[in-house]
Amino acid sequence: MHPLVSKQKAYFLTGETKSLKMRINTLKKLKQVIKTNETAILNALYQDLGKSNYEAYITEVGFIYQEIDHMIKRLPKLSKVKKVKTPLTTFPAKSFIMREPYGVVLIISPWNYPFQLTLAPLIGAIVAGNTAIIKPSRFSYYTSNIIKNLIEENFPEEYLAVVLGGKDETEELIDSKVDYVFFTGSVAVGKQIASRCGNLLIPYTLELGGKSPCIIDKSADLDLAAKRVVFGKLMNAGQTCVAPDYLLVHESVKDNFILKLKTYIDKFYPHPLSNDSYPKIITKHHFERLIKLFYDEKVLFGGKFDADNQKIEPTIIELDSLEHPVMQEEIFGPIFPIIVFKDITEVITTIRSFSHPLALYLFTNDKEIEKLILNNITFGGGCVNDTLLHLATPYLPFGGVGDSGIGNYHGDYSFKTFSREKSVLKKGKVYDLQLRYPPYDDKKLKLIKKIIK
Ligand code: NAD
């Protein structure tokens, strides 16, 4: 067993992590540690991904402040024992559900929002009363290291700890039979994690990715749609799991919509290759992968790149086939593929031909179209007339379905994810119905059939 896992298992058994006071104090301390080191965290995010302080604040650090505040407010109520009804057949008795932490939780996080996607599940693990081991991504080197330093300097390792590394380190931790695994990352690695956990019967959550469609209906407010699509697509230069991946645009509004897309790209990120608030692509590998997706294409807008700084201009391409390479994988970069449709039913067929997406965005002013899409397409979560914002609220569960993930979190849902429901029936002693006890005969059967019919 990995020494950290055995240390944390022993500490968990002391019961200290379950104390409400301790959980709230840990959250308060975590917030204070982040506040004290906020500048260093923002700097690390700039070094890893070229995120501006503003972008890093709203999508990473500020997001965590909100989650902590929400949890401090909600925890006393969430952790209460819930009384439920008791059926006549078990009379006399009381029934209740206790929320119980799993024990040692392993949190595996990716590089694209390296602070938020590590700390948000950590908050869930803490509020539910677990200990936690964090395994951040090696590609977000600076942020992963600062997280490690902050946790190590401020919390005992038997409670919260960080392990840096990749596949081998992660596998060793899982094989030490942690009590819960929370994984955020790619579908391919998610499958490996699931199968490893499955073999050991370790419960898990998978927060994965995929191709999230964005529909621009002919009734949409085009200016607003273009503005919000550019906002959602270019946040972190497209390296967002819920970024609008491809755009399905009604043929009657295509030209006007593309014009407006260009206007907002220019307005939000002028001179993107030298613009300090326009993020870079995380690694050379991903940079080259993205270039290949549009290099031989007729580019409608953008298309230039800077290999030294790993930056790619926001690039619009029009597709005439779903077989195009850009449709064979999650893009995860600043490429806007446009696919034209004539009838909304084509949209449903197209989206259904891919795995269930993590997110779906619909721009429309037509209530019937809205109903048709929401009722006929399965997706993790999404927005009508906006992008990304469904994950910026603690009141909506965030997660995928099938290939885009298993389980969810954020706000109250994080508490639910990191704790389990322990059912208890507390039986009265005074009255003891003899009917339940052997020997069984026809008379008893007749009687029981009057009660259970
Ligand atoms: P990744 O799957 O390569 O890595 C995720 C984590 O797993 C990292 O910590 C990595 O070190 C570790 N890892 C990598 N290979 C492993 C292996 N074989 N065994 C065990 N652990 C391993 O993902 P990534 O490239 O860091 O992140 C991008 C992906 O994450 C995209 O697909 C994106 O859509 C997805 N994502 C999903 C969400 C969400 O909330 N649903 C959020 C962000 C990113």
Of the candidates 315, 284, 276, 313, the residue with the CA atom closest to the CA atom of residue 297: 315
| 44 pLDDT tier (thresholds 50, 70, 90) | very high
pLDDT tens-digit profile of 115-160? 999 999 999 999 999 999 999 999 999 999 999 999 999 999 999 9
**Cα of 116 to ligand 1 centre, how many Å?**
14
**Cα of 198 to ligand 1 centre, how many Å?**
18
Which atom of ligand 1 is least distant from the CA of 110? Answer: 26
**Domain segments of the chain as ranges:** 3-208+402-422, 213-392
User: Which DSSP state fits 252?
Assistant: G
Of the candidates 433, 437, 395, 431, the residue with the CA atom closest to the CA atom of residue 413: 395
The pTM score is 0.96
Cβ pair 184, 196 in contact under 8 A: no
Of the candidates 147, 327, 334, 94, the residue with the CA atom closest to the CA atom of residue 233: 334
167 in contact with ligand 1, CB cutoff 6 A = yes
**Cα of 137 to ligand 1 centre, how many Å?**
8
- Rg over alpha carbons for the chain, rounded to the nearest Å, is 25
Report, as an integer, the average pLDDT of 243-256: 98
Q: In Å, how far from its chain's centre is CA 234?
A: 18
Residues 45, 129, 170, 242, CA torsion sign: negative
pLDDT tens-digit profile of 101-111? 999 999 999 99
Q: How far apart are CA 323 and CA 217, in angstroms?
A: 23
60 is catalytic: no
Q: What is the pLDDT of residue 205?
A: 98
213-392: CATH topology is: Aldehyde Dehydrogenase; Chain A, domain 2 (3.40.309)
Active-site hit among 60, 241, 330, 383: 241
Cβ pair 239, 279 in contact under 8 A: yes
User: Which DSSP state fits 125?
Assistant: H
- pLDDT of 100 strictly over 90: yes
Bigger pLDDT: 407 vs 166: 407
166 in contact with ligand 1, CB cutoff 6 A = yes
Which residues make Cβ contacts (< 8 Å) with residue 299, sequence separation at least 6? Answer: 315, 316, 317
Nearest CA to ligand 1 atom 8: 137
241 is catalytic: yes
User: Looking at domain 3-208+402-422, which of 3.40.50.720, 1.10.3720.10, 3.30.750.200, 3.40.605.10 is its CATH number?
Assistant: 3.40.605.10
**Cα of 184 to ligand 1 centre, how many Å?**
6
Domains 3-208+402-422 and 213-392 equal at CATH topology level: no
Of the candidates 250, 248, 247, the residue with the CA atom closest to the CA atom of residue 218: 250
